[in-house]
Amino acid sequence: MRPFIVMSVVLRWYPLRIFNRLAAIWRYLDQMTSQACAKPRKYTVDHIWHADWSISATGRWVAKARRTDTGWQIHAIEPVGMLNQFRHGLNHAAKTQSIWLGLDMPIGFARYWFDSAGVDSFPNLLELLSTPDWQEFFDVCKTADQISIKRPFYPAASGAKGSVSRDHLVRGLGLSRFDQLYRRCERATTDRAAACPSFWTLGANQVGKAMLHGLKNLIIPGHQDGFNIWPFSGDLAACTAKPGVTVIETYPGEVYGWLGLTSLTKSKQESRKEAVASVRNIATGHGIEILPAVFDDIKDGFAPGQGKDDAFDALIGLMGLIMIAEGKRAENLPTAPAINTREGWIVGLDAAKIKDPTK
């Protein structure tokens, strides 16, 4: 019998006190039925943070979301701040809950480098990078003659015209072609151009210096704290099976397409403003609430005092991770041993879209 018919009969024949009790019982039964029929979680993650990383403190921003009874709530977009406090906050929350920390930076290196260095895996490398013998790894080479397997990042600066060349890095690392520097996930896809390989640290899209900062100040100490490092610690299901922090490599450029942001020019505030409006509509349709205070801060497109494109990418990466957590996008982790032990992967990247994947 429909609920309104039941209530109509009760109103006609029973005293108000009895009606109130019956109404309370009805609400309780309805709530229990709704909970019993709720869609099971794809991953049992409680919090998702996503950080756009930079060597500069002003360029490090993090967007944060927590799971609710009805979906997700984006409750903060803020500077990362003091690094030890940032890591402590993760550790504290992860004592009883599962947290994903997405990082917009490479986590892993090309397989050829591991062979040349005689290192078995990325986790083993993290152990070595904590020892005195490997500290030069963090020093970006100023001149070509400084390049070595233990000091593979180059150049520290652009220098005079013609004084810095990609060929310096290729020869210094014993390679024959620049494209050997790429991890598989960094190669061009049908949707985007190739990313910049980590060891080459020149140009607007270089990421190597930020990667070195993130390794030294977050990933290595986090590894010592017991953080899971995806995919080296297992797939997302394995990493999320118990409370703890799982660090995940992301690439917001991949997520733009997921969200339909095909005409975005992220360096322009007006374009970011249009994108934020689209993201809010998408979020609402997927059970993701952006708190009013957060939206009020970002609705104008992340102005200069609000993180600009760094904070914008923190939000975009967060949206991508929520979509994966809800099963709306696949993890897309390949099974190749070299990827799961050495190179790592960009979460959600479809390997079938990579051009020349065998090189």
Structure confidence by residue, pLDDT tens digits, 170-185: 999 999 999 999 999 9
How far the first Cα of the chain sits from its last, in Å, is 66
> For residue 153, what pLDDT is reported?
98
Residue range 127-135: mean pLDDT, rounded: 97
More confident call, 54 vs 29? 54
Above 70 in pLDDT, residue 346?
A: yes
Q: pLDDT band for position 41 (50/70/90)?
A: confident
Above 50 in pLDDT, residue 155?
A: yes
Residue range 38-64: mean pLDDT, rounded: 90
Could you read off the pLDDT of 209-246 as tens digits, one per residue? 999 999 999 999 999 999 999 999 999 999 999 999 99
Rg (alpha carbons) of the chain, rounded to whole number? 24
Above 60 in pLDDT, residue 30?
A: no
Helices (H) and strands (E) in the chain — how many of each? 14, 7
Q: Identity (one letter) of the amino acid at 29?
A: L
**24 half-sphere exposure, CB direction, 13 A CA radius:** 6
Q: How far is Cα 307 from Cα 58, in angstroms, rounded to an integer?
A: 8
Give the three-class secondary structure for 332.
Answer: coil
Above 70 in pLDDT, residue 24?
A: no
Q: What token pair was written down for 271? A: 């374009």
> Which whole-number Å values give the CA distances from 288 to 75, 200, 246, 358, in the listed order?
11, 38, 21, 38
Q: pLDDT band for position 105 (50/70/90)?
A: very high
Burial of 200 (0-12, 13-18, 19+ CB in 10 A): buried
What average pLDDT does the structure give for the chain? 90
> For residue 33, what pLDDT is reported?
42
